[in-house]
């Protein structure tokens, strides 16, 4: 059977919050029988946009990572729920029953992603339903996807085998695979949030004039692995996707007939080397 899957491209998210606002517009003060009770106006973030700044001046970037209910195939909330209060539909969507789940506040802590929120007024745990009530009416996408202006959110309805081919071809990842929850929310360019970079600018002085060293060859070396970059018009280079606490790297910079410049760089966070003169 075809199942719903959500793809989030961190590279395209600009923190406009249209997804968050469209969720509020759809669910605040609105009850959908069998799907959800009204969402509270303040406090709940069924679409929770996380933010991370990397690097140091002048080479800094910021990534935004929307976090939803992951609609896990191995959902901890389903296991923790009493009386079948949380269940997975045949199409992959996980629903918290707005009647059976009343009073089950422990479900908030059952989600390792922090995607379940407590509604004090209704004494009810709540989360993203992927707008299942709209999809069941024939909508092609939930409100958040419809409202995204950059294409950062994309919904796919596919057989499991077909979805795995998409995951492979688009290099998609899941958030916190160590949780073993088998989520149906996939991320593209997740490294922008979870990994680190080494960046810098190469400059040169010729005949008393300082200039950007365009075309310098920069090699990143760790053990037997090598990556190479060519500096752009501004002399800039960047090696991204480096794992956290991955140790010390050697950076070798060669430019025309100048002597090779070598730097040792430890990566426990993203590092901006500033201007490197050759």
Tens digits of per-residue pLDDT, 116-168?
A: 999 999 999 999 999 999 999 999 999 999 999 999 999 999 999 999 999 99
> What pTM was computed for the model?
0.91
Could you give all domains of the chain from N- to C-terminal order, each with its CATH number?
3-193 (3.30.70.20), 196-277 (2.60.40.10)
As a whole number, mean pLDDT of residues 33-45 equals: 96
As a whole number, mean pLDDT of residues 109-116 equals: 98
108 sits in which H/E element: helix 107-110
**33: Cβ–Cβ under 8 A, 6 or more apart, which residues?**
none
Token pair of 47 as six digits: 């679409």
The per-residue pLDDT for 271 is 93
The per-residue pLDDT for 103 is 97
**Per-chain mean pLDDT for the chain:** 96
The residue that leads in pLDDT, 245 or 48, is 48
Closest CA to 196 of 13, 57, 55: 55
DSSP-derived secondary structure for 174-221: -S-GGG----SEEEESTHHHH-EEEEEEEEEEETTEEEE-TT-EEEEE
Answer for the pair 2, 155: CB distance below 8 angstroms, yes or no: no
The per-residue pLDDT for 120 is 96
The per-residue pLDDT for 268 is 86
């Amino acid at each position: 059977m075809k199942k719903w899957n959500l793809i989030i491209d961190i590279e395209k998210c600009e923190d406009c919050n249209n997804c968050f606002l469209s969720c509020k517009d759809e669910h605040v003060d609105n009850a959908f029988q069998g799907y959800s009770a009204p969402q509270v106006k303040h406090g709940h973030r069924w679409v929770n946009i996380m933010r991370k700044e990397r690097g140091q001046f002048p080479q800094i970037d910021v990534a935004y990572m929307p976090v939803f209910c992951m609609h896990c195939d191995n959902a901890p909330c389903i296991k923790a729920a009493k009386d079948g209060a949380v269940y997975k539909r045949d199409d992959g969507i996980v629903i918290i029953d707005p009647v059976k789940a009343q009073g089950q506040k422990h479900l908030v802590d059952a989600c390792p992603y922090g995607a379940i929120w407590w509604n004090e007024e209704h004494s009810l745990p709540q989360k993203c339903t992927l707008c299942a009530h709209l999809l069941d009416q024939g909508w092609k996408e939930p409100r958040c996807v419809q409202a995204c202006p950059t294409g950062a959110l994309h919904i796919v309805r596919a057989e499991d085998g077909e979805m795995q081919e998409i995951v492979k071809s688009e290099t998609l990842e899941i958030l916190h695979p160590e949780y073993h929850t088998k989520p149906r929310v996939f991320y593209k360019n997740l490294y922008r949030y979870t990994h680190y970079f080494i960046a810098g600018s190469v400059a040169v002085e010729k005949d008393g004039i300082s200039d950007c060293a365009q075309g310098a060859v920069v090699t990143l070396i760790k053990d037997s692995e090598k990556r190479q970059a060519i500096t752009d018009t501004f002399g800039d280079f960047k090696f991204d996707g480096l794992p956290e606490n991955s140790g010390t790297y050697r950076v070798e910079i060669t430019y025309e007939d100048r002597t090779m410049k070598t730097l040792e760089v430890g990566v426990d966070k993203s590092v901006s080397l500033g201007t490197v003169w050759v």
